[in-house]
Amino acid sequence: GRQLAEIARQHRPDLRVLFMTGYARNAQVRGDFLESGMDMLTKPFSIDELAQRVRGLIEAPSDGA
Query: What are the angstrom distances between the C-alpha of 64 and each of 9, 13, 15, 16, 57?
Result: 14, 10, 12, 13, 15
Give the structural domain span for 22.
2-59
Domain contains 18: yes
Contacts of 23 (CB under 8 A, 6+ apart): 42
Domain count, the chain: 1
Digit-coded pLDDT (tens) for 3-25: 999 999 999 999 999 999 887 66
Domain contains 11: yes
pTM of the model: 0.76
Domain contains 51: yes
**Rounded Cα–Cα distance for residues 13 and 50 (Å):** 23
Q: What angle do CA 49, 51, 48 make, to 5 degrees?
A: 40
Domain contains 8: yes
Residue 65 has pLDDT above 70, yes or no: no
